[in-house]
Structure 1
């Protein structure tokens, strides 16, 4: 079993309609998010005014809050949702888009969530960009939709967006990331219900937001409200980045220093096999030759490799102990030879 780290993360969660720390950086002006019908504030309604209303309802965490409701009229066209006004961005930065959505009655129609002034990650054009354009996984369930716009010069082809289950926090669907067009100075937030023939269907939207990704944006876990948190324990359903939005292949990625009283590495094969009679102890002359040719011990990564890729602490400690045990056996053998020489005198 490969060694891994266990990390205990202590947090304190306050349940509000909009968490203060979550609301602070939102680039969308929500002052127009008030009871009413049709367009409001920065949000221009998609479809008829009668298909767009804002009313009190139950949010993703069971709180009473104002929801945007899409009510199809049966004409199978735009059935509710919005295009926000364009807002200023820097195309040299990454931005994260989010919105909560719940569909009721049936999964008829298609949910759209998108932006503008972007290209695909490979640089090809897309003048009608959607992070997501499909049906939600289930009815009567809140989902958090996340999409990313990368910097215009970002060469990454990795999509970080997705669909998150509002109850479990699990990532249950993918989303398409984009990058800004060169020279782009603004974009917008847009999400709709389209092509729904069922007049009894409803689609609810909640908490739209856009964040500059700079290490200070709220985590996806905080946007989810960390369902299932109790006491001093926090469950994170996905990968966690601290001061980085790109944890990569790691469950926990930290851009900076870490200080801890204890770190426990579990698993791995401990090198007691060095003391087995069947173990072939390296010949010192061969080790010397390897060092002359390579500049480091056999089985140990070179300095350049460590600089480029770092080290696995568990693997490295195992390897260092193996070398210590081999050295101990050489010293024992050498001491026996010295004792034999002394006896001959």
Structure 2
């Protein structure tokens, strides 16, 4: 099944519309077999530390990879600075690259950017003249990771970092990284991705598919970049890049379905009608509501806000309360029936008393 999905992923990526590639500001036509710098990409380190060769990319297909092969000197160990590309400072841009490290975690991997015209800003408004979205080690060796950073528009006052390191197998964001912001005088942007300070000559770091995309709704989604929808149907996010741990599906926005079935774990609330089910008195129920502000057994508003709503559990609890309410109604009906019986008995007693009084009056009149 996994091999079938992998093949489907490759076919999907090959059949993506032209704008999937055209949206990329970087010109990758210079990524041809060879060593050193390439058209649009200036090497980081020596020529021997930078080569481009055929290899297997993150989606399982054969592609041209940029390979960093560090020498024993450490320092610059491979990678590039791209050309500068014109941007609109009022808009948001996304900077990304795939990387895979092998052999050891000697040195550090980098993804950064440089603003032309003026440097980019940190989200607190301070100038950053050496902006890196991420510096670190890939979480696992010999595994592809998609690194994604954002540069916010100059008028965006958000201080939230959206970038992250995504596992190429699971699609999950495994590391949160740093975003930046344009100044109004920033007119261009360049892509920077490196291996640095690696002195282990057996190490290799591979780079694939660097991108700069304007975030305008036409850029490929993170899921498309990852190839997650065909690659791993076991976990899926739609309209969002956030898939919380322990969940299989995350939808950012409204969803409409013709039918939903929830497989409920645990007992269905027919136990309410068993003889052993404890039913609070109405006085006890009133006191509980007064103290806690919600029905017993029902999550509070705070719990729902913190832990979200479990649809199956809530359905169980609502049915439990409906069945308990039915018992309350039936008990009240019994009490009302008993009251009616008592009232009827009282009416009969009153009638008998009236008849007795009438007879006593007649006896008194006869004696007179």
TM-score (norm 2): 0.68
Do the aligned partners of 1:287 and 1:298 also contact (CA within 8 Å) in 2? no
Do the aligned partners of 1:228 and 1:235 also contact (CA within 8 Å) in 2? no
Question: Which consecutive unaligned segments of at least 5 residues does structure 1 have?
Answer: 1-10
CA distance, structure 2, for counterparts of residue 94 and residue 26 of structure 1: 14
Query: Cα deviations across residues 177-203 of structure 1 (Å, max 9, x unaligned)?
Result: 213144355433211122233445432
Query: Cα deviations across residues 277-319 of structure 1 (Å, max 9, x unaligned)?
Result: 452335279759979xx9x974679999999998543343234
Is 1:154 aligned to 2:158, yes or no?
yes
Instruction: Report the structure, 1 or 2, having the larger helix content.
Output: 2
2:31 corresponds, among 30, 33, 39, to 33
Q: Which residue number corresponds to residue 234 of structure 1?
A: 233
Q: Which residue number corresponds to residue 243 of structure 1?
A: 239
The alpha-carbon distance between structure 1 residues 187 and 284, as it changes in their structure 2 partners (threshold 3 A), is farther
C-alpha deviation, 1:206, in angstroms: 1.2
The alpha-carbon distance between structure 1 residues 282 and 342, as it changes in their structure 2 partners (threshold 3 A), is closer
**What CA RMSD, in Å, does the superposition of the two structures yield over aligned residues?**
4.3
CA distance, structure 1, for counterparts of residue 242 and residue 173 of structure 2: 19
Do the aligned partners of 2:288 and 2:295 also contact (CA within 8 Å) in 1? no
Structure (1 or 2) with the larger CA radius of gyration: 2
CA distance, structure 1, for counterparts of residue 113 and residue 33 of structure 2: 25
1:318 corresponds, among 316, 319, 332, to 316
* Structure 2 counterparts to residues 246-265 of structure 1, below 5 A: 246=242, 251-265=249-263
Do the aligned partners of 2:264 and 2:313 also contact (CA within 8 Å) in 1? no
CA distance, structure 2, for counterparts of residue 64 and residue 106 of structure 1: 24
Query: Cα deviations across residues 231-287 of structure 1 (Å, max 9, x unaligned)?
Result: xx7133xxx442234556775123133224223153366545644545233527975
Question: Which consecutive unaligned segments of at least 5 residues does structure 2 have?
Answer: 1-6, 345-368
C-alpha deviation, 1:323, in angstroms: 2.9
Query: Cα deviations across residues 127-183 of structure 1 (Å, max 9, x unaligned)?
Result: 3222332333455x2422323326342132x5650252x4x3365852422131443
CA distance, structure 2, for counterparts of residue 203 and residue 308 of structure 1: 41
CA distance, structure 2, for counterparts of residue 81 and residue 177 of structure 1: 20
Do the aligned partners of 1:51 and 1:73 also contact (CA within 8 Å) in 2? yes
* Structure 2 counterparts to residues 285-304 of structure 1, below 5 A: 298=295
C-alpha deviation, 1:72, in angstroms: 2.9
Q: Which residue number corresponds to residue 193 of structure 2?
A: 191
